[in-house]
């Protein structure tokens, strides 16, 4: 039941995102980076697992550069054939290569799926989050695996989802495997959730 509710909500949120003018989506990236960098979870992090935004996702480009420029070790995902994620170090925008599904991935050596357990903070993509911190992703399960891997390893990095304004909802449908995030950042606000 919740699975079909998730699918309907995903479609609606993706429609709203696709209607966003590209210049508006891109411009919000600088504000998102500024607000995210105010978080203690990022300011004090030695290693951050992040991602390269695509399409109408909130832009992470400025944030990646600012983290790297501050000396933070930034890990980026590499999508594996089974939708799990490997990781590699971000070495700059000129070292990103095109991958399947329109994604950009780091060109450097692969560190293995367990590398994410070294992160102090994990930045997650999403379509929405609710006021309990429950994240709605795209449905591929890649980040559900990341959150489960962190739990199994006993790792407790801060988990932060990056969203557009208007994507923090009263409630998103959940399933048994879903895990809450600690915070959400939009271009205009930071939301914190009780764990």
Q: Is 9 annotated as a binding residue?
A: yes
Q: Is 100 annotated as a binding residue?
A: no
**Residue found by looking up tokens 């508006």 in the block:** 24
Comparing CA positions, the residue from 58, 7, 18, 53 lying closest to residue 175 is: 7
Q: Is 151 annotated as a binding residue?
A: no
Q: Is 61 annotated as a binding residue?
A: no
Q: Is 92 annotated as a binding residue?
A: no
Q: Is 8 annotated as a binding residue?
A: yes
Find out whether 114 and 41 touch, Cβ atoms under 8 Å: no
Q: Is 142 annotated as a binding residue?
A: yes
Q: Is 141 annotated as a binding residue?
A: yes
Q: Is 65 annotated as a binding residue?
A: no
Question: Any long-range contacts for 21-26 (C-beta under 8 Å, 24+ apart)?
Answer: 22/56, 25/56, 25/58, 25/59, 25/164, 26/59
Q: Is 10 annotated as a binding residue?
A: yes
Pairing outcome for strands 158-162 and 121-124 = parallel
Q: Is 59 annotated as a binding residue?
A: no
Fill in the DSSP letter of residue 95: G
Q: Is 161 annotated as a binding residue?
A: no
Find out whether 147 and 84 touch, Cβ atoms under 8 Å: no
Q: Is 102 annotated as a binding residue?
A: no
Q: Is 145 annotated as a binding residue?
A: no
Q: Is 12 annotated as a binding residue?
A: no
Q: Is 6 annotated as a binding residue?
A: yes
Binding residues: 6-10, 52, 57, 135-143
Binding residues for ATP: 6-10, 135-143
Binding residues for substrate: 52, 57
């Amino acid at each position: 039941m919740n699975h079909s509710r998730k699918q309907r909500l995903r479609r609606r949120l993706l429609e709203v995102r696709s209607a966003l003018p590209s210049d508006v989506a891109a411009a919000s990236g600088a504000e998102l980076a500024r607000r995210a960098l105010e978080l203690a979870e990022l300011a004090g992090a030695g290693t951050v697992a992040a991602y390269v935004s695509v399409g109408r996702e909130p832009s992470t480009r400025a944030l990646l550069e600012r983290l790297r420029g501050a000396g933070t070790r930034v890990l980026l995902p590499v999508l594996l054939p089974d939708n799990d994620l490997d990781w590699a170090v971000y070495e700059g925008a000129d070292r990103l290569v095109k991958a399947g599904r329109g994604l950009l991935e780091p060109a450097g050596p692969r560190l293995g799926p367990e590398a994410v357990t070294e992160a102090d903070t994990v930045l997650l993509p999403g379509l929405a989050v609710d006021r309990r911190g429950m994240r709605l992703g795209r449905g591929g399960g890649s980040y559900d695996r990341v959150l489960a891997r962190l739990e199994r390893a006993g790792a407790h990095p801060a988990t932060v989802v990056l969203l557009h304004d208007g994507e923090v909802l009263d409630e998103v449908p959940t399933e048994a495997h879903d895990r809450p995030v600690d915070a959400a950042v939009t271009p205009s606000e930071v939301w914190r959730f009780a764990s």
